Structure 1
């Protein structure tokens, strides 16, 4: 029987990119795409014939029925709320904690082996409601995974992904598009904070690697995912400006740093490297590809 792989938040950037990568690299997998009822599906246009689409409202009974019907071997959980679209703190809590808890509850009822690959956040919980709720669910999943007989809970602590076609609420996308539009001035912070930027194709390959090698991970484990390098924001923007050929004036220091802004975010990729995974993109090669693709969109 083909492996059943369910991706939540499949209409989002990460979920849709994972679907595309899995469909291309692992055609033997039976893919299921889960999204909220009424969600826009434009990102799934090119992969709809290679997966089964499932839309759900907030009824927990319907979610349990769907899980019972699919009987997934692997769930890749990417659904979340960043809180950037005027959602209340309660809405973010519901999306980032309650929905995931209901998923786990439905899986436990199956009483069969399943791997839950959770997309966590590398941000400190104090940074935002998003970061706090992501941390809370990661802790909850590890606790449930350690106690449940059939559940493996792997938490992907994901650093700053970037790639063409992402939402402009994300810093790399917003910056590249402003430079491609050759804005006369771009106001920025001092840009001294260091961030681990990882290209979306490297993210997708790492998720697939974790699925294929899931037997080599513990029953509950946290996996750092990033490039393992952390240039400053200033270096990222300056490189993007050079690669786009923009004449924009970069006005560093015009915007104050956010409260509790971490000085350094970087992944320890030792665990994945030891098992045989490594990123294929440098920051320059990844930005070059992103810029080329953004120019044509």
Structure 2
């Protein structure tokens, strides 16, 4: 049985990955904070091994659990809770770098890194993510561990955080709030449903032994891009909402990315393909979150 160590397990992506990997009969070890809420993992807590990173040395699971075959790193700090730059750096660079170093000492074979498509100078979060990627590339040059970088587009689905744009739009339209103030919505995004994200990670994990390169990078999205306006109007239509959509009420943020779309050719060559359309994904999210 393969052992997988996963960070960010109590978060949106991490929790979905844990549940899927448990079903695939992987032995799952998670690193979490003592204050992390476990509600997303309540149905699989008896099937996983948990360590509190603030209470034990980061090397402890490697010493106690035997060989860990792979690390899936999904933990992140976006800076949405007014964290300082040093806190963002600690979470997005120092912590995963320590984990990467320990993994090389204990002969872990592969490190899966969840990256962003954001331009590195857009904000502190994006810059920190790019800094860690450079350290990951350096580790592969020393041929100590294989590093797969996953550039994740705009994922969404049931149980996501209210601070996320997609959740905010769905929740607001479903609740028929009087008005949504928005930008013109001309910027395009590649929206991908959480189940398709998870299946891509599992495909990469299962195919990793057939990919001998030390560093590899994959773009993960639906492969299609639509405007923010179209996304909002689709949600508005599906929810039969009476909310007034005020496009143009807000300016674009400084450095706004106007087009983002994943090139999924490399993933498709591994046998992966997304199955959930945008309409299906929105309907599934509403059904699970509100009914």
- For the aligned pair, the TM-score class normalised by the smaller chain equals over 0.9
Matched, 1:8 2:7: yes
Match of 1:249 among 225, 244, 264: 244
Measured in 2, the distance between the counterparts of 1:243 and 1:68 equals 51
Is the deviation greater in 36-45 or in 257-266? 36-45
Give how far 1:58 is off.
Answer: 7.2
Partner of 1:271: 266
Partner of 1:33: 30
Which runs of 5 or more structure 2 residues have no equivalent in the other structure? none
Q: Is the 8 A contact 1:8 1:35 kept in 2?
A: yes
Q: Is the 8 A contact 1:14 1:78 kept in 2?
A: yes
Q: Is the 8 A contact 2:79 2:125 kept in 1?
A: yes
Measured in 2, the distance between the counterparts of 1:65 and 1:45 equals 24
Matched, 1:137 2:132: yes
Give how far 1:148 is off.
Answer: 2.8
Q: Is the 8 A contact 1:5 1:32 kept in 2?
A: yes
Measured in 1, the distance between the counterparts of 2:108 and 2:22 equals 23
Partner of 2:45: 48
Output the TM-score relative to the length of structure 2: 0.96
Measured in 2, the distance between the counterparts of 1:182 and 1:53 equals 40
Is the deviation greater in 255-264 or in 211-220? 211-220
Matched, 1:20 2:19: yes
| SS state at 1:120 partner | strand
Matched, 1:223 2:218: yes
Partner of 1:213: 207
Q: Is the 8 A contact 1:68 1:106 kept in 2?
A: no
Measured in 2, the distance between the counterparts of 1:166 and 1:208 equals 20
Matched, 1:91 2:87: yes
Q: Is the 8 A contact 1:176 1:291 kept in 2?
A: yes
Q: Is the 8 A contact 1:142 1:221 kept in 2?
A: no
Q: CA RMSD in A?
A: 1.2
Match of 1:172 among 166, 173, 178: 166
Q: Is the 8 A contact 1:108 1:148 kept in 2?
A: no
Is the deviation greater in 139-148 or in 233-242? 139-148
Output the TM-score relative to the length of structure 1: 0.95
> How many pairs does the alignment contain?
289
Which runs of 5 or more structure 1 residues have no equivalent in the other structure? none
Give how far 1:46 is off.
Answer: 1.4
Q: Which runs of 4+ in 1 moved over 6 A?
A: none
Give how far 1:66 is off.
Answer: 2.4
Is the deviation greater in 101-110 or in 91-100? 101-110
